[in-house]
A = this chain, B = another copy of it.
Amino acid sequence: MKLEAKIDWKDGLAFRAHLDGFDFTIDGTPEAGGRNLGPRPKGLTLVSLIGCTGMDVISILGKMKIKVESFSVGAEALLADEHPKKFLEIKVTYRCNGAGITAEPLRKAIALSEEKYCGVRATLSPPVTINHEIVLNGENIPN
């Protein structure tokens, strides 16, 4: 399977990114010489990770006929302080709400994504340490 992306420089640190037929701007902070016309590129690695696992999980819950009221996935990353400032650790938080959802199928959907389907996670870890927590209807549940 192949995948492509491209960025075209506009000015300063701003680039127009092209992916899957969509265009969006990325840029640096003013401190780095940019104008903040779009997000920094580094965090797109996090969106790639949580987008990939989030789509897996919502898709698996759908196949389980589980009715989800709201669902979000967050990521907090710790990066190296010295160049190259690579990702060291990522904590992923799955937050799911729904009156009829129990812990077990949610845990199973997340485990299926993390262990079998999520290609971005499999790319990053190892060497990046990725942990997760699960919050179901406002309460942390054990992994």
Contact = CB atoms under 8 A, between A and B. Distances in A.
Interface of A: 1-9, 13, 15, 17, 19-22, 24, 26, 28, 32-34, 36, 38-52, 54-55, 58-59, 62, 68, 70-81, 83-87, 116-124, 126-128
Secondary structure dominating the interface of A: mixed
Chain copies in the assembled complex = 2
A74 to B, nearest CB: 4
B9 A68 contact: yes
A37 to B, nearest CB: 9
Contacts of A20: 36, 38-40, 43
A122 B119 CA distance: 18
A96 B83 CA distance: 25
B1 A19 contact: no
B86 A122 contact: yes
B123 A45 contact: yes
Given A24-B24, A42-B48, A87-B119, 9 more contacts: A7-B54, A19-B47, A22-B38, A22-B39, A28-B59, A33-B59, A41-B52, A44-B51, A86-B123
A87 B123 contact: yes
B59 A13 contact: yes
A137 to B, nearest CB: 15
A47 B119 contact: no
Contact of A4 (B3, B13, B72, B77): B77
